[in-house]
Amino acid sequence: MSETKTLQVMYDEKLVGTLAMASGHKVAFQYSEEWLEDGFSISPFSLPLKNQVFVPQKDYFDGLFGVFADSLPDNWGRLLLNRLLRAHKQNPDRLTVLDRLEIVGKSGMGAITYHPERTLEQTNGNTNLDELAEQCQKILNTEYSDKLDELYRLGGTSGGARPKIMTTIDEEE
């Protein structure tokens, strides 16, 4: 897995700007010229709508501005992702925050998406809610689950510390 150097930030299919690794494990951000003409500040206090490179002054969010850190999975999603990476023989400790945002791609909970998107090989089986609940409990008990791919696909990028999935029942989300 190669380390991501830059990542495009999108909103409603429009380029907002670019994220790039900076010194001190911080991530710099710059709005695109198009966004500066017709867009809005995505974080008024931290990222005013100006033509400049922004670098976080503090390291509260692993070197990211809060607006981008909010796109990352919280405890449950991070646990699933780390186990999924290990199952695919990848070391999660080697991922930068940009690598993790690249994995979030279009599957995050908010309106902001990240490109290019990195996909992980995942199974696409039938969803049995009782079985998924049982598999979640196994993971919380630090046991192996053979449904790890499916659990991550259904809810690994949603926020929160506890297990959850996003699913559709009778065409209703």
Per-domain boundaries in the chain? 6-155
Whole-number Å distance between alpha carbons of 43 and 93: 29
**C-alpha dihedral, 55 to 56 to 57 to 59, nearest 10°:** -140
- The pTM for the full model equals 0.71
- How distant, in Å, are the alpha carbons of 20, 43, 75, 151 from that of 164? 31, 28, 12, 9
User: pLDDT tens across 118-133, in order?
Assistant: 776 654 555 555 555 5
User: pLDDT tens across 6-54, in order?
Assistant: 999 999 999 999 999 998 889 999 999 999 999 999 999 999 999 999 9
| pLDDT tier, 145 (very low <50, low <70, confident <90, very high otherwise) | low
